[in-house]
Amino acid sequence: MSPKTRNVTQREIARIAGVSQTTVSMVLNDRDGSNVRIPAATRERVKQAIEQSTYVADPAARRLAGLDNQIMGVFTYEPALSPESMDFYGPLLNGLERAAEQVGCDLLFFTSSPVENGSRSLFHRKTRLRLADGCILLGQQMDGDDLKRLVDERFPFVAVGRRDETTAKVPYVGIDYVSLTAELIERAVGLGHTDALYVHRNLHSPAARDRMQQIQASTASGGLKFTLVVAEDGDLTGVTRAAEQTGATAVFTEDAFLAEDVALVLGNAGVEVPSAISLTALAEVRGHRVHGRALSGFQTPRLQVAAEALSLLQQLVTTRAEEWDSLDTQRLLQGKVELGETLVERMSAT
């Protein structure tokens, strides 16, 4: 069971500083030092008392006392700087760097927790989370217990991407994949497609579930009918077979890399994209091309997501924890559908 963080009370701070509890309250609520009734020496004793209790002290009390470090942590559940990861993490890290520079804070990248079974543990004994005033969490999949513990302990944090791994109210900034997926399906229907494949990995991230929600809704409502193909361990041998059996005229994939792999498999089987079958990705497609053609999919504001996540984190850091519920802490930003040259109009057979 996770250990509980004990918040230091104003009474305990008063005892350590040798002042009254009223004086402690006055210091905590006088962040800019404008109250001339509090002598500088007294103010310093209260700050030192809080500083002595940094491990268990209420982070809000530290911030109100002017003891925050202007350091924001960044924690990634998966390795973020490998060549395979940079397509996803690169724009987010770039956006965080730019936003941190603009607001004048430093970023602390938590890397001491080892990667085990493809993921890091946020509360590993080596993760020095409380060195930072707050933390940005990145990861396609996150640990629900970690998120709940952060919420319960009132530690300021913001997750990038919508989270549903816990019922706790997790602050997040993400992309509205539900609306994007629904719009791209509608565009495909408008181009004359009636049957399609959805090729996806066996991931269970909130974004993956958002995409799947719209795929299943379309099939159930009689719109674009989808057949699901799971790319187990990168095995795409079932794509060509499924296309032949269903008569699908379009293939949707979970991301752009999967779309490129599908195009290669189909091409090796003599099925050309897009003349024989259209192709689109339910993800960011800038920089991705198939047979020299621009890939259809999404343009997602990942730089903006990162910047807004840091802005929200700063808002939490400078607001008392008991007032967080009044803030807009769950935000979805809009992307746009990018119709490249791989999703084309299908002519009805006559």
Work out the pLDDT band at 6, boundaries 50, 70, 90. very low
**Residue 196 backbone phi and psi in degrees, to 5:** -145, 160
Q: Could you tell me the two tokens for 32?
A: 């800019």
Q: Give whole-number Cα distances, 165 to 147, 161, 216, 303, in Å.
A: 8, 12, 21, 24
- SS3 per residue for 225-287: EEEEEECHHHCCHHHHHHHHHHCCCEEEECCHHHHHHHHHHHHHCCCCCCCCCEEEEEEECCC
Most confident of the following: 4-8, 18-22, 337-341: 337-341
* Strands of the sheet with 134-138, listed across from one edge: 106-110, 71-76, 134-138, 157-160, 172-175, 330-333
Structure confidence at residue 25 (pLDDT): 77
Question: Using alpha carbons only, what angle is made at residue 12 by residues 8 and 13, rounded to the nearest 5 degrees?
Answer: 85
Measuring CA to CA, which residue among 231, 241, 181, 184 is closest to residue 203? 231
Confidence of residue 52 (pLDDT cuts 50, 70, 90): low
Compute the distance between CA of residue 52 and CA of residue 192 in angstroms, rounded to an integer. Answer: 68
Tokens of 155: 């530690």
CA atoms lying within 13 Å on the CB side of residue 24: 20
Summarised one tens digit per residue, pLDDT across range 122-179 is 888 777 887 888 999 999 889 999 999 999 989 999 999 999 999 999 999 999 999 9
- d(C-alpha 281, C-alpha 259), whole Å: 6
**How many angstroms separate the CA atoms of 348 and 350, rounded?**
6
Q: What number of residues does the chain have? A: 350
How far apart CA 274 and CA 343 sit, in angstroms, is: 7
Eight-class DSSP state of 326: G
Q: Cα separations (Å) of 129 from 61, 113, 233, 274?
A: 17, 11, 34, 49
Instruction: Check the CA dihedral 280-273-276-244 and report its sign.
Output: negative
CA distance 290 to 340: 10
> Residue 32 has what pLDDT?
62
State both tokens at 38: 């509090």
Return the ∠ at Cα 190 (arms to 189 and 191), rounded to 5°: 90
Confidence (pLDDT) at 68: 62
Is the confidence at residue 62, as pLDDT, over 80? no
Whether residue 274 is preceded by a cis peptide bond, meaning omega within 30 degrees of 0, is yes
What is the largest distance, in Å, between two alpha-carbon atoms of the chain?
91
- If DSSP codes are grouped into helix, strand and coil, which group holds residue 102? helix
The yes-or-no verdict on residue 98 having pLDDT over 50 is yes
Tell me how many degrees the CA angle 175-180-184 measures, rounded to the nearest 5: 155
| pTM for this model (two decimals) | 0.79
Looking at residue 96, its pLDDT comes to 95
Q: What is the mean pLDDT of the chain?
A: 87
Classify burial at 292, counting beta carbons within 10 Å of its beta carbon; exposed 0-12, middle 13-18, buried 19 or more.
exposed
Residue 203 tokens, joined: 């991931």
Q: Lowest mean pLDDT: which of 59-63, 105-109, 302-306?
A: 59-63
pLDDT of residue 290: 95
pLDDT band at 254 (very low <50, low <70, confident <90, very high): very high
